[in-house]
Amino acid sequence: MAKAQVALVRAEDYELTRLKGAVERALDLLGGLERFVPKGAKVFVKVNLLPPPSPPERGIITHPVFAEAFLSLLKEITPHIVVGDDLHEGRSFDIGGYRDISRRLGVELLNLREQGFEEVEVEGVILKRIYIARAVREADVIVNLPKLKTHALTLFTGAVKNFYGVIPTGLRTQLHGEHPKPEEFAQVLVDIFSAVKPALTVMDGVVGMEGPGPANGTPRRVGLVIAGGDAVAVDAVAQSAVGIAPSRVWTTRHAHARGLGIGDLAGIEVLGEALAAVRVEDFRLPPASGDLMGRFPPGITRWATRHLQARPVVVRGRCVACGACVRACPTGAARLRDGKAWIDPRKCIRCMCCHEACRYGAIDLRLDPLGRLFRVAEAWAFRDRTHRTRQRAGGKGQDTSSNPGRPLDKR
């Protein structure tokens, strides 16, 4: 069986000319853009414009210059391009810098809710029917431009999870409430991905996000363009580049097991840079127990996920009572009380929607004492594993540590 190919190219900053060259090189390594997009095709490009509106320097959204670098190459093949995401506010396009690039390049910019959604059948593990944006359904080719980020619930958000934005906002909130466990919620994400599988994924890994992502972490320079026809493989390579074994990320694990892509590095051919040469040291993960994935039997892993996951806590000094957390909460746990947000721990299901929605850093994620103890143990285990890996490699640059977790199983 042929290996999935993923291109890994260095990109140090968002200067357009240099970045366009890096994106073009990545595509050339894969056989050229026309291998994925026929001339004159109607193309939908899914970017990550996580609402509410965010400027690109915060590292929350697909950087507009990254999108421009790719779109300028795509324009040479087809004029029929729609760039979009489902947004609460149209001004996300302005604040995120997308309005300007759409005017410069002459591409259509679309808030997906403007054209509505269609109900489609899904052969999913959890979902059997789902509403997908019409613009996505009507495209000849779907291209995925995700951002490399951590995620407080799913550990990592990238290529697969980016398509959660092609279903309606209200349904996203509902699904968070109905499937709060990370393992189960990841199946929902993979169900949606299976209905809109992209032809090409080009990930913005120039500046990623570490810590409590996807909206309140810290921008971290990764310096990479990561591209491939297999979105699951792109996620796996991106995860490995920042020190996360793909087997520890439920979306990658489920998608691989279901044959929707390759999530095991043994089945991936990395083109361009070697993973060992670009790996980011000490990349900070969210304060959750995603690191436990793949190291213990499933029953223990589920127990740890349930009991050791961080919980959202309001930092009153930062809260401006904007109500974003209240609107995002699927259970009514978040509310305004005495002029500040408050989260009822009895109703909170730890879906992290409030944390994702807050742009003021007013929702902190905190572990209980047992969870903090596990985090210390995990940190020591990671350092020990890295040390042993380097000893085995003998300092020769061999990439022997790409998947330190339990091997993925396609059964």
The answer to whether residue 224 is domain-embedded is: yes
CA distances from 161 to 35, 127, 186 (A): 24, 15, 8
Q: Do 137 and 79 share a structural domain?
A: yes
pTM of the model: 0.80
Res. 383: pLDDT tops 60? no
Q: Do 362 and 225 share a structural domain?
A: no
Distance CA 158, CA 201 (A): 10
Rounded to 10 deg, the angle between the 182-195 and 169-178 helix axes is 140
Of the two residues 386 and 207, the one the predictor is more confident about is 207
The answer to whether residue 203 is domain-embedded is: yes
Name the domain boundary from 236, 261, 278: 278
Query: Using the 8-state DSSP alphabet, how is residue 280 labeled?
Result: P
Q: Which domain range does residue 326 map to?
A: 311-366
Residue type, 7: A
In the three-class reduction of DSSP (H, G, I as helix; E, B as strand; rest coil), residue 298 is classed as helix
Q: Do 346 and 219 share a structural domain?
A: no
Q: What is the pLDDT of residues 25-49, one digit of tens each?
A: 999 999 999 999 999 999 999 999 9
| DSSP output for 225-242 | EEEES-HHHHHHHHHHHT
Contact 141, 36 (CB under 8 A): yes
CATH number for the domain spanning 21: value is: 3.40.50.11440
Q: Do 61 and 104 share a structural domain?
A: yes
The answer to whether residue 294 is domain-embedded is: no
pLDDT reported for residue 281: 92
Q: What is the pLDDT of residues 53-93, one digit of tens each?
A: 999 999 999 999 999 999 999 999 999 999 999 988 889 99
Q: Do 334 and 264 share a structural domain?
A: no
Q: Do 327 and 235 share a structural domain?
A: no
Of the two residues 201 and 51, the one the predictor is more confident about is 201
Contact 405, 390 (CB under 8 A): no
Contact 168, 85 (CB under 8 A): no
Res. 316: pLDDT tops 80? yes
Res. 307: pLDDT tops 50? yes
Q: Do 328 and 230 share a structural domain?
A: no
Q: Do 322 and 265 share a structural domain?
A: no
Q: Do 186 and 127 share a structural domain?
A: yes
Q: Which of 11-15, 108-112, 303-307 has the lowest mean pLDDT?
A: 303-307
What six digits make up the tokens of 320? 């401006």
Name the domain boundary from 259, 278, 297: 278
Residue type, 77: I
pLDDT reported for residue 400: 35
pLDDT reported for residue 180: 83
Rounded to 10 deg, the angle between the 182-195 and 250-257 helix axes is 50
The answer to whether residue 374 is domain-embedded is: no
Helix (H) or strand (E) holding 271: strand 268-272
Planar angle of CA 222, 201, 246, nearest 5 degrees: 60
Q: Do 162 and 64 share a structural domain?
A: yes
What six digits make up the tokens of 55? 């400027």
Contact 133, 112 (CB under 8 A): yes
Cis before 297 (ω within 30): no
Residue type, 122: V
Continuous H helices in 242-351: 250-257, 275-278, 298-308, 324-328
The answer to whether residue 404 is domain-embedded is: no
Residue labelled with tokens 């005495």: 338
> Which residues is 120 bridged to in the sheet?
130
pLDDT reported for residue 251: 97
pLDDT reported for residue 174: 87
CA distances from 36 to 108, 231, 406 (A): 20, 13, 33
The answer to whether residue 33 is domain-embedded is: yes
Q: What is the pLDDT of residues 123-177, one digit of tens each?
A: 999 999 999 999 999 999 999 999 999 998 899 999 999 999 999 887 898 898 8
Residue labelled with tokens 């992290």: 352
What six digits make up the tokens of 101? 């690039």
Number of domains in the chain: 2
> Which residue, 54, 131, 58, is CA-closest to 98?
54
The mean per-residue pLDDT over the stretch 90-116 comes to: 95
What six digits make up the tokens of 204? 């913005």
Q: Do 149 and 29 share a structural domain?
A: yes
Q: Which of 39-53, 143-157, 209-223, 375-389 has the lowest mean pLDDT?
A: 375-389
Residues 6+ apart with CB under 8 A from 372: none
| Burial letters 43-58, b for 16+ CB under 10 A, else e | bbbbbbbbbbbbebeb
Q: How many CB atoms are located within 10 Å of the residue 335 CB?
A: 14
The answer to whether residue 380 is domain-embedded is: no
Q: Do 243 and 126 share a structural domain?
A: yes
Under the banding of pLDDT at 50, 70 and 90, the label for residue 393 is: very low
Under the banding of pLDDT at 50, 70 and 90, the label for residue 14 is: very high
Distance CA 132, CA 261 (A): 21
CATH number for the domain spanning 323: value is: 3.30.70.20
The answer to whether residue 68 is domain-embedded is: yes
Residue type, 62: T
Res. 303: pLDDT tops 60? no
Name the domain boundary from 253, 278, 303: 278
Under the banding of pLDDT at 50, 70 and 90, the label for residue 382 is: very low
